[in-house]
Chains A and B, each alone.
Chain A
Amino acid sequence: MTERRSIVSISLDEDQRRALAAQGSAVVLAGPGSGKTRVLTSKVAQILSETSNPRRGLACLTYNVEAAREFKNRLRDLGCKKRKNIFLGTFHSFCWAEILAPFAPLYPKYGVPQALDVISEKKLDCLFNDFIRENQRFACFNRKSVDAERVNLFKNRISCVDLKVSKNLLLHEATVEFAKFLHNRSYLDFLHLLKYSAVLLREEEYVRRAVEAKFPWILVDEYQDFGLVSHEIILTLLTRTNVKIFAVGDPDQSIYGFQGASPEYLNELARLPGVETFRLTKNYRSPQAIIDASERVLSSTNATQRSRYAAVGAAKELEAEFITLECAGGMETQYDAALDFVERFRNEGVSLGKIAVLTKYQEDARNLRRRCAQRGISVYLARPKFRRTELFFWLQSCAQWTLDKFQASFDEICATWTAFLRCSQRGAISEVELLPLRKSIYRRLIESARYKESLLNWFEYMEKAFSLFEIFDESERENLQKLENNIREEYSVAPLSSILNLGDVGDRLVVTTRHSSKGLEFDAVIMLNMEEGSLPDFHAKTPEDLAAECRVCFVSISRARKTCVFLYSRILNGKLRAPSSFLKKIIPSEKESSDF
């Protein structure tokens, strides 16, 4: 045990170690490339090694399933053993598994729908249309605007952060009515899931006791990406239980404002009494020039001291390169220019997977993909055609086991499957049923080996053999369908083994939107649409909106390890455009730089 601990702390720098030593609740402000994931996994490992009480564990909550998966792998590598009451997963799944599923049935007075399904986006769209049909006076609103309003709809909140509430009373009314509409029909969507959890936690002492008993520590990754209700849940735990919170995030990287996220929630958490704040000041990803450039973009928002991050390690030695290019034509010329750069970098020896093109719109990403196909560049769309959910990872494990029994654990496959069944309408598995179930899973997997020459056939077999479409809820079914479509389109002749890298970047050019680039890292980043009015957007007029645009730019630049390319057009859609004002900050004029 002592040995493991030393491994944990030796590989950490001074800042990271300080954050790790926090005895109570803590906020760790961690910029790009500062090793926040490492701090978080080390903290998990440290808590687990310091306490051997087998019943009281911890929860580590992430923004998405992939991050949770990443944590699981890292912890396994650190030698953390499986133990009861350790929760690694998304915030939503935590609320579902630890608050709503066990307690909503015990407290019927809160009217939580007894549905086992969280409805899918598509279904929610349909419901919204039904809602508008019934309430014509709200026809002027789309779901996006209602959702944006809905995320901030929470009564008796603890948080004092000013909310961006629309002054449009009709929109407000539409939002309230739509929430009622869903409630009356007993539909549970992700937003309601959080809200009911927050209410149960706030109102019922027993629920708080139970969460505290099982999870004396709750760690949160990417805190800046969470919205008001998640923040309320954390505040409730922090102020009304003895649960210790360890939150990691970077307010500067809060770019999911359209989903209700705000940098202010993390700042508020850091200011609370009893919460220690730590700042990681080193950047292991990029050379100083890139760090400074990205921070100069932010400095327009508040003039406080910047350049808080110092390049260290191998990254410090990298030579930064900034290239700006004015394109003669519209977007088409930007696409071509971008791909010219891609080819140039590839010829210089950079692998495709280390190059990213960041677009403003999803549509540009799609167009670029077509363009790449013409030029023979293979592309990875960072916004995948399906989500990599637990079910997907389970299918991967099954495939791996089918191909090589030493590469995957049958026990784990069975355990995950029974967990799936427990969450489904099918209900839980009693002890008596367990052995027959294992036998039947074994038989089905052995039989699936017949299809190992074709991923598509194997997938179809699995779908039938495990009745996947019957067992999973609607949103999972929808995703399963997307996965199947993706296999049909792109992997129709591929063998089973290709599922193992399905969705991996591989040696492919990454094309993604600026917003989806968060958390990724590339040698070279090529940014399109660097015109004034595109970035910052025309619509961003208030200081808050402008600050949000700065953060998007900051996130995009800080993805780069060496090279940043900025493309803009003088004429776009028939209108004369100027280069983005951000560019002046990113690349100071020749005169200024020679003064340097």
Chain B
Amino acid sequence: MIRAGAVALALVLAGCHGDALRGDVRELVIGTEGAYPPWNFTRADGSLGGFEPEYLRDLCARLHRRCRMVAMDWDGMIGALQTGKIDLIADAVQITPERAGVLAFGRPYALTTGVIATLRGSPLARLGDDGVTMDLDGKGPAFAAMTDRLRKGLAGKVIGVELSGAFDTFLTQTFADRAGPGVSIRYYRTMGERDLDLLNGRIDATLEDESYIRPLLATRDGAALVMAGPRMIGGSMGRGEALAFRPGDPGLRAQFDRVIGDTLADGTVRRLGLKWFRIDAAPGAVRR
């Protein structure tokens, strides 16, 4: 026991010594949720898989840095970043105005849209504006007409959504507490429970990221679902996904921005997007 302790102490001291010598090259700790497939998820053996673990491995290799990814709940992730428990966040963090105050976003590595998913036979499947990109920061008569069509199409329906995500924010702000035949929103703690209720018909539709819905449609149960209506972006849904750093850490952000640029240019992001999301999720690939 004492010998094991001595060995451990020696290793720790050696580690400190090594770090002190190499200065900047200590291990980077990356926070992720490990529960947002296909972006990141925890396998049965406890290891992390998905788009981000694979992508960050690539980025760290390009930076010649040792990186370790740790899974934690989204609630505590920004706090862990601020207190230095982790060095950056890779968790499909949407670049939204509210978050820009506390986080320093890197260069976006993905740009995905929100979409409505419903059962194949549902009247919502014929919502209109299919596949048209709808910018929620938009203005003007065309945008107003589109919003109106969406609101009329969803009137009286039950929409399920994961609690406290960006889509929850959008639905709650847009449809809650409105007079007339409004949309009723049902909140779910996990996406799995929401998907079950969507498939068994308890809810009429859900609003979710296209990167989540597409792989779901390819599963045996998910084949009963279709995507409907416009692809939504901007507003409370944000403009793309990026790594999040401490605002006081611009050096690390600049390093990552450089290699992210490389992976966007050489097709790595496109390849990983097609592998995990079945779409090219790279920013700039979206039809505008």
| Same complex | no
